[in-house]
A = this chain, B = another copy of it.
Amino acid sequence: MSLLKRRKILVTNDDGIYSLGLKLLHDAVEPLGDTIVFAPETPKSASGLGITLHKPLRIQTVEYWGMKIYVTNGTPSDIIYLALNELSPNLDLVVSGVNIGDNTSVQVILSSGTVGAAAQAALLGVPSIAFSAAVEESMEFKDPLLSEVIVRVARRISEIVLERGLPPGVDLLNVNFPRRITRETKVKIARIAPIKFLQRVNVNYDPRGNKYFWLYGMMADPIPGTDVYAVHVEGAITISPIRLDLNTRNSSEETARFLRDLVREAESTLEDTARAAPEAEEVIET
């Protein structure tokens, strides 16, 4: 195969370059094509699909884990746009992760920088996969079985997506590894739960006696059949196909009536307001 035809694969994460998860994901896809490793210079967990509009972004290169890594002061989502504009106008695959902590439930997924980067890529038409593991810190990735399973399973899934693309109705894949691999570990397709956490504010006082708050997650009871349940209760490697469509589905008559009423009420308010506002005429005429 000529060098020109080799696949371009972007590897990113939201934990920054010091996470072993980035190294594992690089090792997973490295045999599959030309890899670009591009990560935020500091951890950007929970940045969601957020992009940076208020300040200039930089790109630098560093050597770490024996890899050449591009780093930026931006978010994982910024990285997709920076990579496509500055490093490679065509990408065949974006892989994001392996995140420290699973990304299960809509609540967590939509605030995840790891899935956010993959989702941004998907919106631009680039096949993408987000990988996460239910570990609590980067060093847990040193577990030899867990790391080997992550590298090889992530490689196989990436290979299939490179070969076949994603099927109709699937915008990206969200893959979660359990904290531990055992003889009983299974692979499951799981639906995405709405929420994972019930509550997440810790209240405390600083040394000067001033109150502060620290957000954290307390897990809700996982519902069987969901990604949260599969990863945390069944300890499975979980694959969830994601569709990035926020529209309502199969609207009921009640919903249709509600929306019609909204339009009618808003239109009549609009008309009343335009009639009542004398300054309005002036604005309309100019």
CA distance in complex: A258, B146 (Å): 25
| Contact A86–B143 (Cβ < 8 Å) | no
Q: Across the interface, do A262 and B160 meet the contact criterion of CB distance under 8 Å?
A: yes
Q: Check A77 for interface membership: any CB of B closer than 8 A.
A: yes
User: Taking the complex as formed, is A85 at the interface, i.e. its CB lies under 8 A from any CB of chain B?
Assistant: yes
For residue A8, give the distance in angstroms from its CB to the closest CB of chain B: 18
B47–A248 touching, CB < 8 Å: no
Which stretch from A18-26, A30-38, A184-192 is at the chain B interface?
A184-192
Query: Chain B's nearest CB lies how many Å from the CB of A60?
Result: 10
Q: How many residues of A contact B (CB 8 A)?
A: 115
Q: How far is the CB of A24 from chain B (nearest CB, A)?
A: 13
Contact mask A45-77 → B, CB, 8 Å, 1/0? Answer: 111111111101111000000000000001001
Cβ B57 vs Cβ A214 within 8 A:
yes
Instruction: Say if the beta carbon of A157 comes within 8 Å of chain B.
Output: yes
Tell me the minimal C-beta distance from A134 to chain B in angstroms.
16
Contact between chains at B199 and A270 (CB < 8 Å): no
Which positions 239-286 of chain A face chain B at CB distance < 8 Å?
239-252, 254-255, 257-259, 261-263, 265-267, 269-270, 272-274, 276-277, 279-280, 283-284
